[in-house]
Structure 1
Amino acid sequence: MQQGRDVSTVETSRPPARSGRARLFAVVLVLSVVLVASVLAGIALGPTVVPPDEVVRYLHAALTGGTIRSDEVTGYSIVWQVRTPRVLLAVVVGAGLSVVGVAIQAMVRNALADPFVLGISSGASVGATAVVVFGVFASLGVYALSVAACLGALVASMLVYAAASSRGGMTPLRLVLIGVALAYGFQAVMSVLVFLAPNGDAARTVLFWLLGSLGAANWGSLPLAAAAVLVCVAVLSRNSRSLDVLSMGDETAASLGVDAVALRRRLFLLTSAVTGLLVAVSGAVAFVGLVMPHLVRIVVGSSHRRVLAVAPLAGACFLVWADLVSRTLFAPEELPLGVITALVGVPVFITLLRRRGYLFGGR
């Protein structure tokens, strides 16, 4: 009898597991198709519309070394030199911010955490502001802004790490409080730099960059950001079980053999580096890392293995369309990307908060 009950238990417990895997596979497949379609739409649409068949032909020619007619040079340049790197950068930044948001929410056990809660974004903004206002690193040319933003993010992460560390390690509450406090400090420094700007145009440029923009995207800005996001996804996916344990608290983690302090330290270094690189190429794009993880948890559950498989695709799709709206809504003028993400993110997040029983993917 006992054997019969055991067999019955095994048989009835397998279908839900298969069903969960099938659902995850279906979600990933659908989002992958949507992402490909979104990329093609992002390249084709804009102030100058390029037919989809021409987009595919231009991309094929660029990738295979094919030829185009002389009267197609303008369309080819728009597709390959301007829109393709911009759309791909939107994919990278959207995926990266979503994944980093998942990691930080687990690291600090706070549903309101996002990639900028630790002050890294504000530090990067100080570096970028120094370039725009005073021409720091002008000798680096088009890379001056990225280098300064990365250095600012590095300095900010070092300060947050030093201030939040103690003999007992970095606790989630101390990490968040130190990050928020230093973020305000960096914003004050940035305001002083803007106040001392020798001309008014610098302040407008700084404000536009701070709200996020992919207008400066080029092929040179893609490789490092893409590599950082891929490494981040791989590392976090490998530690998905540890993230599940960490999100339940340090005591639970210790009882299950996970060193919460060491894991939190590694996550802090990883997310700081990736956030700095993403801010350097896109500015401070808000709400992607805050909202996307919650939306994904509603669809696939709170398991980090599943969330990390879906969040990059969801974030990439969202930012591609947000960027498309930002550059076409008032064309030829371009709205800051952060304006679009905030207009979408605020009502979505409020809806999530009002959703009965939802809290950080649970109840």
Structure 2
Amino acid sequence: MYVGVSFLLLVILILSVGFAVNLGSVDISLKDVYRIIIYKIFGIGDSEVLSSGAIHDVIWLIRLPRIILAIAVGIGLSVVGIVIQAIVKNPLADPYILGISSGASLGATIAVMMGIGSVLGGNAIGISGFIGAFTVSILVLIIANIGGRANSVKLLLGGMALSSVCSAFSSFIVYFANDAQGMQTITFWLMGSVAGAKWEQIIFILPIILIGTIFFMTQYRTLNLMLLGDEVSITLGTDLHKYRHVYIIITSLMIGVLVYSSGMIGFVGLVIPHIVRMIFGTDHKKIIPIAAILGAVFLVWADILSRILIKGTEIPIGILISMIGAPCFIWLMIKKTYGFGGKD
């Protein structure tokens, strides 16, 4: 069943990409959209017509990069959400619960408020956010291993503690910097957006997200064991300690590159895994590919809505996801009884 659902979602994703690229102030037919995409990827078609011109530039250089970035963000956040929830054995966990969000925010705040931007160049906020997110993740591992081996509870508590510390330092820097323009820049970045997507970024980001996703698809047995707990896994001959370390480092790398490219987009890593588990249970062999494609579809349509809801302006995608996603998620939870191990 899950293979059929995955295929159906993949078809929906392809159609959604065509619709999203077609949508905008410049009127372009779906036929032109797919002709140019097919030509650029497979080299099929009339090169004189499809390789240049205004329509080519709008589709290939402006609209398609942001859609591909939205797909990468949707895949990455959804898969990382599933993995983090398995690592800490907490259904309320999301990709930012281990302090990654606050670490990225602190890195961005330092870049803007303390003038590091001139050293790092035009991508200063994104690079600093990536460094902050990755550094905090490593610190969580170090703290969780103090006084004994790390387990799900120590990882969760360490992440929450470091999150509070990073938030406090961010507030401290903002308070004493007294820079209204810098604060506005940080606030906009924290809202999340895929509007600034470029192919140079995507060529770097997409392989990391896809390789990470494929890796976790091969780890479904270990992720299933994590839901059972350390005691059960040891009796079955698997020590989860080293796996947690590897998984956290890989998920942190994935979140770090997403933070670098799109700012902070929350909630996806919480909602998509829950929706998939409600329908398909908790077997990671099934839910990781389905969640990856569903997350991609979700982000593409969130980007579409962010562009069309208010004429003449664009709503930051992070705000829109929280405004629409939270009520829908609450409704789903009310309509269907749900536990971390599947149906109660």
TM-score by length of 1: 0.88
Query: In structure 2, what is the equivalent of residue 311 of structure 1?
Result: 291
Query: In structure 2, what is the equivalent of residue 12 of structure 1?
Result: none
**Are 2:21 and 1:43 aligned?**
yes
CA displacement 1:106-152 (0-9 Å, x = unmatched)? 11010100000001122112222333334414344333233212211
Alignment of 1:190-205 (within 5 A): 190-197=170-177, 199-205=179-185
**Are 2:16 and 1:28 aligned?**
no
- Give the SS at the match of 1:116: coil
Please tell me whether the aligned partners of residues 212 and 250 of structure 2 are also in contact (alpha carbons under 8 angstroms): yes
Please tell me whether the aligned partners of residues 121 and 276 of structure 1 are also in contact (alpha carbons under 8 angstroms): no
Give 1 or 2 for the bigger CA radius of gyration.
1
Query: In structure 1, what is the equivalent of residue 208 of structure 2?
Result: 228
Aligned-pair identity in percent equals 37
Q: Return the alpha-carbon distance in structure 1 between the equivalents of residues 105 and 47 of structure 2.
A: 41
**Are 2:49 and 1:68 aligned?**
yes
Q: Return the alpha-carbon distance in structure 2 between the equivalents of residues 199 and 357 of structure 1.
A: 48
Alignment of 1:36-115 (within 5 A): 36-63=14-41, 64=43, 66-68=47-49, 73-115=53-95
Please tell me whether the aligned partners of residues 201 and 261 of structure 2 are also in contact (alpha carbons under 8 angstroms): yes
Alignment of 1:164-243 (within 5 A): 164-197=144-177, 199-243=179-223
Query: In structure 2, what is the equivalent of residue 298 of structure 1?
Result: 278
- Give the SS at the match of 2:48: coil
**Which residue identity is paired with 2:217?**
S
Please tell me whether the aligned partners of residues 36 and 50 of structure 2 are also in contact (alpha carbons under 8 angstroms): no
- Give the SS at the match of 2:164: helix
Q: Return the alpha-carbon distance in structure 1 between the equivalents of residues 66 and 83 of structure 2.
A: 26
Q: Return the alpha-carbon distance in structure 2 between the equivalents of residues 49 and 290 of structure 1.
A: 36
Across the aligned residues of Structure 1 and Structure 2, the Cα RMSD in angstroms comes to: 2.0
Q: Return the alpha-carbon distance in structure 2 between the equivalents of residues 78 and 292 of structure 1.
A: 31
Alignment of 1:1-20 (within 5 A): none
Q: Return the alpha-carbon distance in structure 2 between the equivalents of residues 222 and 95 of structure 1.
A: 13
Task: Show structure 1 runs of 4+ deviating over 6 A.
Answer: none
**Are 2:249 and 1:269 aligned?**
yes
Please tell me whether the aligned partners of residues 75 and 293 of structure 2 are also in contact (alpha carbons under 8 angstroms): yes
Tell me by how many angstroms 1:82 deviates: 1.1
Tell me by how many angstroms 1:162 deviates: 1.5
Q: 1:197 to 1:53 in 2, by over 3 A?
A: farther
CA displacement 1:166-210 (0-9 Å, x = unmatched)? 353112112112212211221222223333446423222211111
Please tell me whether the aligned partners of residues 126 and 263 of structure 2 are also in contact (alpha carbons under 8 angstroms): no
Query: In structure 1, what is the equivalent of residue 310 of structure 2?
Result: 330
- Give the SS at the match of 1:247: helix
Q: Return the alpha-carbon distance in structure 2 between the equivalents of residues 272 and 308 of structure 1.
A: 17
State how many pairs are aligned. Answer: 340
CA displacement 1:23-82 (0-9 Å, x = unmatched)? 111101100000001111111113434221221233344443822389x83332221111
Please tell me whether the aligned partners of residues 352 and 358 of structure 1 are also in contact (alpha carbons under 8 angstroms): no
Q: Return the alpha-carbon distance in structure 1 between the equivalents of residues 167 and 224 of structure 2.
A: 33
Q: Which of 140, 148, 157 pairs up with 1:160?
A: 140
**Which residue identity is paired with 1:68?**
V
Deviates more, 1:242-251 or 1:146-155: 146-155
CA displacement 1:287-340 (0-9 Å, x = unmatched)? 100010111112222100000121100000000110111122224322111111
Q: 1:119 to 1:47 in 2, by over 3 A?
A: farther
- Give the SS at the match of 1:279: helix
Structure 2 unmatched runs, 5+: none
Query: In structure 1, what is the equivalent of residue 319 of structure 2?
Result: 339
**Which residue identity is paired with 1:311?**
A
Structure 1 unmatched runs, 5+: 1-22
- Give the SS at the match of 1:257: coil
Q: Return the alpha-carbon distance in structure 2 between the equivalents of residues 173 and 355 of structure 1.
A: 30
Deviates more, 1:326-335 or 1:281-290: 326-335
